[in-house]
């Protein structure tokens, strides 16, 4: 049995776009044609591949097919690049031909970029992650489809085939993936001086944290809970603000809505100017790793190298030494 690649690519487009109509627009076919392709693939494989919800999502079997489609697209891109050919150009050289077969005048048609879906935690996305991708995009025809999730959960997107690479806190490689350490993001508990004075935070009055409002990213954010538990406090007692965006989270702390744990990127200026104060207690170190599919892909490796280079200056040194682990 074979999986027709055109049908697999159609399934990937449906999952990427979220609806059959949006996938049809991307593929420049009718929604009916998209539906027929998915049904044909499901009948051929004897599996339901798509949960027809809004947005649609892949079943476990569908995720495997999507992963295949993305792997083939990435390998195709790398092969064309190795040949010096531009994907999307009509004659491989990026120039249209005249009727006599000679190259037509005019500028070369840009290569159609390949899409790389990647997963990253919010604090990395808001600070050091994007400059690395910008360097890759200047050298390669690529666009990035970024998925934001907590660093403890991004590997789930790798396992499902949703993304090809992920920044994660997990050092153990997902099946079929490689992992390399990036570094450590250190967090400290901070607040405005006015907030700290109002609630009696800092010093030895640790129990004051049980009454003071705390800022958390979302209900899966356990950094502040871990900090409170390390100080021997009941992490369930403080009232909570939920601010689910990294820059807005930092702004909420700087505006005095509550206290919170911030990385040095977001607290150093405030601490230097006196707009923020340290609240004492233990710092929290979050080790970050890069995991990607185990493919011989120059493009995916270029992304990994750029991220490692950026992390070398932005994060604390990783332990153990840098390098791939299978």
Q: What is the DSSP string of 274-304?
A: TS-EE--S--EEEEEEEEEE----HHHHHHH
CA nearest neighbour of 133 among 307, 291, 298: 307
Beta bridge pairs of residue 120: 148
Q: How far apart are CA 74 and CA 124, in angstroms?
A: 25
- Nearest by Cα to 5 from 60, 71, 89: 71
- Exposed e or buried b for every residue in 183-202, given b needs 16+ CB within 10 A? bebebbbbbbeebbeebebb
Angle at 21 between CA 15 and CA 27, to 5 degrees: 75
What CA–CA distance (Å, rounded) separates 195 from 84?
A: 60
Which has the closest alpha carbon to 147: 171, 177, 115? 115
Which structure tokens are listed for 66?
Answer: 């999507």
pLDDT tens-digit series, residues 56-80: 989 989 988 998 888 888 888 888 8
Q: Report helix angle 31-45 to 20-27, nearest 10.
A: 110
Which DSSP state fits 195? H
Query: Is residue 320 reached through a cis peptide bond, with omega within 30 degrees of 0 on the bond before it?
Result: yes
Q: What pLDDT score was predicted for residue 90?
A: 36
Q: Say how many Å lie between the first and final Cα of the chain, rounded.
A: 30
pTM of the full predicted structure? 0.77
pLDDT in tens, 97-148: 444 444 444 444 555 688 899 999 999 999 999 999 999 999 998 999 999 9
pLDDT of residue 202: 73
* Calpha distance 5→41 (Å, rounded): 10
Number of Cβ atoms within 10 Å of the Cβ of 160? 17
CB of 281 within 8 A of CB of 196? no
Pairing of strands 114-120, 57-58: unpaired
User: If we measure between CA atoms, which residue out of 318, 288, 290 comes closest to residue 305?
Assistant: 290
Cβ contacts of 106 within 8 Å, gap of 6 or more:
95, 96
Q: Pick out the chain residues at pLDDT < 50.
A: 87-108, 320-321
Tokens of 76: 């195709």
Structural domains of the chain, with CATH = 1-89 (1.10.10.10), 186-285 (3.40.190.10)
* DSSP E strand boundaries for 169-233: 177-191, 214-216
Alpha-carbon distance of 282 to 226, in angstroms, equals: 10
Nearby residues of 103 by Cβ (< 8 Å), 6 or more positions away: 91, 93, 95, 96, 97
Element of type H or E holding 130: helix 129-139
At residue 229, φ and ψ (nearest 5 deg) are -65, -35
Neighbours of 40 (CB within 10 A): 13
pLDDT tens-place string over residues 76-86: 888 887 777 65
């Amino acid at each position: 049995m074979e999986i027709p690649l055109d049908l697999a690519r159609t399934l990937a487009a449906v999952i990427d776009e979220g609806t059959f109509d949006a996938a049809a627009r991307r593929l420049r076919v009718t929604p009916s044609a998209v539906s027929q392709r998915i049904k044909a693939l499901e009948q051929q494989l004897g599996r339901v591949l798509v949960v027809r919800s809004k947005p649609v999502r892949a079943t476990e079997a569908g995720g495997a097919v999507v992963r295949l489609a993305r792997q083939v697209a990435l390998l195709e891109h790398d092969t064309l690049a190795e040949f010096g050919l531009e994907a999307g150009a009509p004659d491989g050289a990026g120039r249209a031909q005249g009727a006599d077969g000679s190259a037509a005048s005019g500028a070369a048609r840009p290569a159609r970029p390949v899409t790389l879906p990647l997963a990253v935690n919010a604090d990395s996305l808001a600070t050091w992650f994007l400059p690395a991708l910008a360097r890759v995009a200047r050298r390669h025809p690529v666009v990035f489809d970024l998925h934001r999730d907590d660093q403890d959960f991004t590997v789930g997107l790798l396992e499902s085939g949703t993304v090809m690479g992920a920044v994660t806190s997990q050092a153990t490689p997902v099946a079929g993936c490689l992992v390399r350490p990036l570094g450590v993001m250190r967090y400290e508990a901070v607040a405005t001086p006015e907030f700290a004075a109002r609630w009696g935070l800092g010093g030895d009055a640790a129990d004051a944290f049980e009454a003071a409002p705390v800022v958390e990213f979302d209900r899966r954010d356990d950094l502040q809970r871990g900090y409170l538990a390390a100080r021997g406090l009941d992490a369930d007692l403080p009232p909570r603000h939920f601010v689910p965006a990294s820059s807005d989270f930092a702004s909420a702390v700087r505006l005095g809505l509550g206290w919170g744990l911030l990385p040095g990127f977001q607290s150093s200026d405030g601490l230097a100017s006196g707009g923020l104060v340290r609240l004492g207690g233990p710092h929290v170190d979050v080790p970050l790793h890069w995991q990607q599919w185990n493919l011989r892909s120059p493009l995916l490796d270029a992304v990994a190298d750029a991220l490692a280079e950026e992390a070398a200056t932005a994060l604390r040194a990783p332990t153990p030494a840098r390098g791939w682990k299978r």
